[in-house]
A and B are shown apart, each in its own frame.
Chain A
Amino acid sequence: MSERYHYYHYLCIGCPLGCRLEVEAEAADIVEVRGFACQHGEEFAIQEHTDPRRVVTTTVRIKGGVWPRLPVKTDGVIPKDKVVPLCRALHALSISAPIKLGEPILSDALETGIDVVATRDLPRA
C-alpha cells in the first residue's frame, strides 16, 4: 500500500444506521470508499470528501416587525467553508418590516450564485 494515501472518516447522514465511512485518498483523488451499507453512503462519502455543501438557515436583524429577527435561508446549497463567512455578512445587514416569505434578502451571496431569502412573512408590529 502506497504511503501517499490518507484515510478520511465521515459519518453517513442517510439514515439512523450512521455508517462510519472511510475514504482512502490523496487530496481529492479517491482510491476507495469503505464502510457503507448502501449506495447512498458511498455517494455521500464522495460528495463530502470532494465538495461538501450546506443549506444555511439563520436570522437577520429586522426593524419595525412583530419580532426583531427574521428567519432566512440560502435557496440552495453553498460550499461548507462559506457557511460562517455568510453568517458574518448577514449579521451586518439590517432590514425593515414588512417582509414577505421568499423575498430576497441578499442576492448572489458571497458570489456563490445563491440568494438568501426570507422564510416567513414578517408584518409590521
Chain B
Amino acid sequence: MISIAPRHLHQQYDVVVVGAGPAGMAAALGAREGGAEQVLIIDREREAGGILPQCIHAGFGLHHFKEELTGPEYAQRFLEQVLTRDIDLLTDAYVLDISLDGQLKVMSPRCGVTLLDSRAVVLAMGARERTRGAIRIPGQRPAGVMTAGFAQKLVNMAGYLPGKRIAILGSGDIGLIMARRLVLEGAEVMGVFEIMPHANGLNRNIVQCLHDFGTPLQLSTTVTYVHGFSRLEKVTVAPVDAHFNVLADQSRDVPCDTLLLSIGLIPENELSRQLQLRLDPVTGGPLVTSAMKTSRDGVFACGNVVHIHDLADFVSQESLLAGRSAGAYASGHQSPPDNIRLVPGENVRYCVPHTISSYGEHTVYLRVTRSLGACTLRLGTVYQKPLRYAFPGEMVTLKVKPRLLEHFHGEALKIDILPRQGGEG
C-alpha cells in the first residue's frame, strides 16, 4: 500500500487532513495550492479513496474532469496528483483526538500512539450509514441484515456475496446500485421497498438498476418485522398511509436471506464535537464560513462531514476551497471574516456555507424540504432566478457574484424557494 513509513513522519505539519476520501485528497491538494509546505493526510483504511474504490459504477467526474469515470478511476486520478505534490499519506491510522491547540493523537499498528502538531486541520471524515437501529425495525436479530454500502464493499472488493435472496429497504442510490450489482453477481433481488411515495435515487438508477432487470420497486411500503434466529428467513412488509401509519392488515411476508438498508447517511463528527465546534442541527455538520472555516480558528471542514452531497464532484470542489483556506491560514494569510449570514427561508432545509462575504464569489449549496415544480429562488431582495424544478434529492446550487451584493449593507440574507403559478409539484 502507498503510505508513508512512520519514521518519515514530521513532528510539525502546516496542514493535517483527517480522511483520504474525495474530500481529504482534494483538501490536501488545495492546501498545497494555498501555500502549505508540509501536508499530511491520515486515513483509517489501508488505502486512500474513502468509499470511491467500492463505487465501481460510472457517473463520477462529469463536473470535475469533464468525462465520465467510475469511482476507482476518480480516486486514482486524485491519488496520483496527491503523490506528485509532496503530500504525506498515512493509512491504516486513526485520529483519536485533536486538542484545542491543534495537536493530533494518532494511533496505528505501525506507529503506536503518536502526537503530531499542525498549524491547521481539515476535517474530511465523511459520513457513515444509518443502520437498523436508526429506524428501529422490530423483530429478531438474525445475521443477514446490513447496510447497502457495507454489502457494496463485500461484493466489489472483498469478493463475498452477502446472500442469495435479497430485499432492499430504502431507494437511495446506493441501494439501487446494489440491486443491480447483486443481480449481475447471480443473486435474486426480491424487491426495493421505500416508505416515501417517491423514489429517493436518481431516475437514471431507477431505470438502469431496477427496470432493466425487472426488479420491483414498492413505494409507500416499509419493512415492519425481521424474522429468523440464526440467519434472516423473511421480512414482513406493509404499505403505509399518507401519515406513514402502517396498514398492518395489508402486510405480507417476503422470503429473503439478506436485508440491505439504504436509508441515509450521517456526517461523522466525533472529532468535531471533541473540538467543540458549533454544529448545524439540520445538517449534523459544523457551521462553516465561505472559506469552509469552522467556528474554531485553524479548523476547516469539507465534504460529507459538513453535509451530505449528491456527487463526489461537488465534494471535490468544496474541499479544494477548504484546503486552500487551510493552506493560506497555515502560511499566515487569513482572509477577512464573512459579514453576511445566510438564513434558510421558505422550503429551504439548509444552506452551506452558513455565511458569505459581500466581496468574492461564492457557491452556495441548498437543499429543499419538499418537491417543487417550477419555482423561483430568492436571495433576500438582491437576486432571484427561476428553477425548472427543485427536489429534496438534488442539491440546488446558487452562484453569488460580488456585484449582486454591491448595494447590500445588511447582516443577513434569507433564501426562499417559492413555487411559481402552477408550479406546485
Pair from one complex:
yes
**Interface positions of A (Cβ within 8 A of B):** 10-18, 37, 54-55, 57-59, 61, 66-69, 71, 73, 80, 83-84, 87, 91, 101, 119-121
Query: Judging by beta carbons under 8 Å apart, are B72 and A16 in contact?
Result: no
Knowing A69-B156, A119-B70 touch, does A54 contact B211 (C-beta < 8 A)? no
Q: Interface on B for A, CB 8 Å cutoff?
A: 1, 46-47, 53, 56-58, 68, 70, 72-73, 75-76, 155-159, 181, 184-186, 202-204, 206-208, 211-212, 388-389, 391, 393-394
The interface residues of chain B lying within 8 Å CB-to-CB of A15 are 203, 388-389
Beta-carbon nearest neighbor of A120 in chain B: B72
Complex CA distance for A63 and B213, rounded to whole angstroms = 30
The answer on a CB contact under 8 Å between A87 and B388 is: no
Report how far A71 CA is from B203 CA in the complex, Å: 24
List 10 A-B pairs, minimum CB-CB distance, nearest first. Answer: A120-B72, A71-B56, A68-B159, A13-B204, A18-B203, A119-B70, A87-B184, A16-B391, A69-B159, A119-B72
- Closest partner residue, chain A, to B46 (CB atom): A66
Q: Which of B76, B158, B204, B211 contacts A69, CB < 8 Å?
A: B158
B203 touches A12 (CB 8 A): yes
Nearest-neighbour CB distance to chain A for B162, whole angstroms, equals 14
Contact residues in A for B157 (Cβ distance below 8 Å): 67, 69
Asked if A67 meets B158 with Cβ closer than 8 Å, knowing A13-B202, A13-B204, A54-B208, the reply is yes
Known: A16-B391, A71-B70. A11 touches B53 (CB 8 A): no
Partner of B158, one of A10, A68, A84: A68
Known: A13-B204, A16-B394. 11 other contacts (CB 8 A): A12-B203, A13-B206, A16-B389, A58-B56, A59-B155, A59-B159, A68-B158, A69-B155, A69-B157, A73-B70, A120-B76
Check B207 against A13 for contact (C-beta < 8 Å). Answer: yes
Q: How far is the CB of A12 from chain B (nearest CB, A)?
A: 7
Contact A84 B184 (CB under 8 A): yes
